[in-house]
Amino acid sequence: MIFVQSTCVPLPIENVDTDQIIPARFLKATSREGFGQNLFRDWRYLPAVSGAATTPNPDFVLNNSLYSGQILVAGKNFGCGSSREHAAWALGDHGFKVVISSFFADIFKDNALNNNLLPLKVEEHFLQQLFEHIFADPNTLVTIDLENQQVQIEKSGLATTFDITPYKKTCLLKGYDDIDYLLSKSADTLQFERKQYKYYQAYA
């Protein structure tokens, strides 16, 4: 079953931290919506001259009409730094369904999965091949089969597999979330609390 088939947006930068994905000054909203407009804000727009409207940075890939799609392809250690889930919200709000990299920071990976954004880890060698294909032909289609955990660069036929836990795969395919599962375990939690409750009585 195809999860996503799309062209890709290449971002061959390593250690993209969540401050770049969405700077702190845009975290003031109290809802989950609308963060996409500030995705990669300080790379995407030229430095603001006071009083002037924001000008897109023509050198940044999101402003390059050659590249579009639901798949962001980025350098290793994507999503490092701050735990802000707003980074995953901003990527999703912009229209990305998958981020492919050779390495993801732990917290970002969890946040992405909790928002139906697939962090897809591939070998560095495959990542570099993927970049080459995208730069050679921006219309390169990439197909992601979540059921079979396979990612394929169409035309070239190059493909590789990726890891995801069976639990998270089911969540993504069926739209479940962790709270439903955790709530279903509340009897276990209660039992744990009765057995293990060491301190809280003292000052609850």
Partner 1 sequence: MNTLFDKVWDAHVVSGEPGFPTVFYIDRHFIHEVTSPQAFDGLRKRGLPVRCPQQTVATADHNVPTLNQHLPISEELSRLQVEALHRNCADFGVELYGLGHARQGIVHVIGPELGLTQPGMTIVCGDSHTSTHGAFGAVAFGIGTSQVEQVLATQCLLQTKPKTMKIAVNGTLGKGVSAKDIILYIISQISAAGGTGYFVEYGGSAIQSLSMEARMTICNMSIEMGARGGLIAPDDTTFEYMKGRPYAPKGVAWDQAVAYWRTLVSDDGAVFDAIRSYQAEDIEPMITYGTNPGMGMGITQHIPSQAVEAGPADMEKALNYMGLQPHQTLLGKKIDYVFIGSCTNARIEDLRVVAQFVKGRRKAPEVNVWIVPGSKQVEVQARAEGLFEVFAEAGFELRQAGCSACLGMNEDKVPAGKYCVSTSNRNFEGRQGPGSRTFLASPLTAAAAAVTGTICDVREMI
Question: By three-state DSSP, how is residue 145 classified?
Answer: strand
Nearer to partner 1, 125 or 185 (CB): 185
Q: Which of positions 82-141 make contact with partner 1 (CB under 8 A)?
A: 82-86, 88, 103, 105-107, 110-111, 114-115
Q: Which of positions 21-50 make contact with partner 1 (CB under 8 A)?
A: 23-25, 27-32, 42, 47-48
The alpha carbon of residue 33 and the mean position of all alpha carbons in its chain are separated, in whole angstroms, by 16
Q: From the list 123, 137, 147, 178, which residue makes contact with partner 1 (rule: CB under 8 A)?
A: 178
Nearer to partner 1, 141 or 172 (CB): 172
Q: For residues 139 and 51, what is the distance between their CA atoms, to the nearest angstrom? A: 38
Phi, psi of 124 (to 5 degrees): -55, -40
- Whether 54 contacts 48, CB under 8 Å: yes
Q: From the list 11, 80, 100, 118, which residue makes contact with partner 1 (rule: CB under 8 A)?
A: 80
- Whether 99 contacts 72, CB under 8 Å: yes
Residue 165 sits in the site that holds partner 1 (CB under 8 A) = yes
Which run of H or E residues covers position 106?
A: helix 106-113
Nearest-approach distance from CB 49 to partner 1, in angstroms:
11
Q: For residues 70 and 98, what is the distance between their CA atoms, to the nearest angstrom? A: 7
Binding site for partner 1 (CB under 8 A): 12-15, 17, 19-20, 23-25, 27-32, 42, 47-48, 75-77, 80-86, 88, 103, 105-107, 110-111, 114-115, 165-167, 177-179, 181-183, 185-186, 188-189, 192-193, 196, 198-200, 202-204
